[in-house]
A and B are shown apart, each in its own frame.
Chain A
Amino acid sequence: EDKVVQSPLSLVVHEGDTVTLNCSYEVTNFRSLLWYKQEKKAPTFLFMLTSSGIEKKSGRLSSILDKKELFSILNITATQTGDSAVYLCAGAGGTSYGKLTFGQGTILTVHP
C-alpha cells in the first residue's frame, strides 16, 4: 500500500521566518512528487518533482526531491501571513492515470 507522511503536522511561525516542510513517501512505481497549497478552497498546484537533486523555485518557495532517501522538502523563506495554509504533499505512481497518494498535510500559521 502506498504511503506518504508529512511532518510536522502543524507549525506556527512569525513573519520573516524561514520554514521547512517535510514529506517522505513509499509509492509503487514512483513517477513524481507534487506539492499543493490549500487555503479555504481548492488546493492549488505548487510544484511537481520528478528528478533527484534539482531544485524548483517559485518566488520565496522552493522544493527538492531525493529519490534515494524517498523524501522531499518544501522551503518557504521570509514567510508572510498570506503563506498561512495547509500544504499537501502527494506521490504519483502506478498507472499513467495520475493517481495520487496524499500525506496528512502540514498546517502552517504565520503570525504578523
Chain B
Amino acid sequence: DVKVTQSSRYLVKRTGEKVFLECVQDMDHENMFWYRQDPGLGLRLIYFSYDVKMKEKGDIPEGYSVSREKKERFSLILESASTNQTSMYLCASRPGGTGQPQHFGDGTRLSIL
C-alpha cells in the first residue's frame, strides 16, 4: 500500500512566522503535490513537483514556496504566515506518467493566529 505521511496532524503558528509542512512518500513516486482544502472551495493546487528539484506553480502559489531535495520528500513553506493561510493542507503523490491516481496523506490542519 502507498503510504504518504505528513509530519503534523495539527499545527498552530503565529502571524509572520516561517512555517514548514513536510510530506514523505514511500513508493518512489516521481510526482508530488500540495493542496489546501477550504469549505465550499474543494481542494486547490498550490505547487507540484514532477521530479527532484523540479517544481511548478499550481493555481494558488502566492505566499508559498516548496522544496524537493530528495525524491521521497516534498516540503511546503509559508514564508511569512498570515491568517488567511489557516486551512487544511493535503499532500499527494503518484507515479510518473499517465493513468495513475494520486494518493493522499491524512492532512495537516494549520491555524495561524
Contact = CB atoms under 8 A, between A and B. Distances in A.
Interface of A: 4, 6, 9, 31-32, 34, 36, 41-45, 48, 50, 88, 90, 96-105
Given A6-B42, A36-B104, A101-B45, 9 more contacts: A41-B106, A41-B107, A42-B90, A48-B99, A88-B42, A90-B43, A99-B45, A100-B102, A102-B35
Contacts of B100: 98
Contact of A97 (B31, B41, B44): B31
Contacts of A34: 101-102
A99 B49 CA distance: 10
Contacts of A31: 98
Nearest to A32: B99
B105 A98 contact: no
Interface string B27-47: 000010101000011111100
Contacts of B98: 31, 96, 98
A42 B50 contact: no
Interface string B46-73: 0010100000101000000000000000
A34 B94 CA distance: 14
A104 B102 contact: no
A100 B104 contact: no
Contact of B44 (A43, A48, A102): A102
Contact of B107 (A6, A42, A104): A42
Given A88-B43, A99-B48, A42 B104 contact: yes
A49 to B, nearest CB: 11
A104 B101 contact: no
Contact of A105 (B31, B42, B45): B42
Nearest to B97: A96
A97 B41 CA distance: 23
B42 A45 contact: no
A102 B35 CA distance: 10
Contacts of A4: 42
